[in-house]
Structure 1
Amino acid sequence: MNKNEIDYSKAAASPAFQQLLKRKRAFIVPMTVFFLLFYFLLPIMTSYFTFLNQPAAGAISWAWLFAVAQFVMTWTLCILYTKKADQFDRMANDFKKEIGGVES
């Protein structure tokens, strides 16, 4: 094996890489589950229940507020992911230095 070649099997089994994967999974999986539940809850609730049709403020129903909340939730999750991705990128760059890869 050439000195500059990376043993990917060894790299994938390393504790630093496993920690990176664990931290990414611990963030991404719950956020994805939350997003999907929140997103599909509106059509399900409006199909089977009528309380979202009640006025919340004037002519604005609870369904409209829930729909607007979905936009807020999407932007919030995007901002959270962007900040968290910076941490993941730093961890990945540290790992690449550790195994002898080139920092990008």
Structure 2
Amino acid sequence: MERTEADVDWEHVQATPEFQQLRRRRRGFVFPMSATFLAWYLLYVLLADYAHAFMSAHLWGNITVGLVLGLAQFLTTFVVTALYVRFANRKLDPLAAELRAEYGG
């Protein structure tokens, strides 16, 4: 007989070492990556506000440092997303699958 979600003692699942390991792994990636991305974004905002000469320096034609760094913000978002997907596929999903298999969630 398959367990339903109501049959699972979620407090017990959260207390298991496997679940704690899953949380540690996720936090070990998400918190440093979020802090790094936010620091990078804050640097961009501060440069845009206080380093006008630097940000308006022309690199090629009408392409400025500010434009390149602004577009790099978008690129960074895609890179962080790809890194997280790769990390989750390799480190989080196998452990989550084990938990699902054991507790039928």
TM-score, normalised via structure 1 length: 0.80
* Cross-structure match for 1:30: 32
Structure number with higher helix proportion: 2
What stretches of structure 1 move > 3 A for 4+ residues in a row? none
Q: Identity over aligned residues, as a percent? A: 32
* Cross-structure match for 2:16: 14
Of the three residues 92, 97, 104, the one matched with 2:101 is 97
Q: Work out the number of aligned pairs and report it.
A: 99
Q: With CA pairs under 8 Å and 6+ residues apart, which has the higher RCO, 1 or 2? A: 2
**Amino acid in structure 1 at the alignment position of 2:14:** A
Tell me how far apart the structure 2 counterparts of residues 54 and 64 of structure 1 sit (CA, whole Å): 10
Unaligned runs of 5+ in 1: none
Q: Deviations over 1:53-86 (max 9, x none)?
A: 2122333211111011112111111111222222
Matches within 5 A, 1:38-77: 38-50=40-52, 51-77=54-80
Q: Deviations over 1:25-46 (max 9, x none)?
A: 0011111112222223222211
Unaligned runs of 5+ in 2: none
CA RMSD of aligned residues (A): 1.9
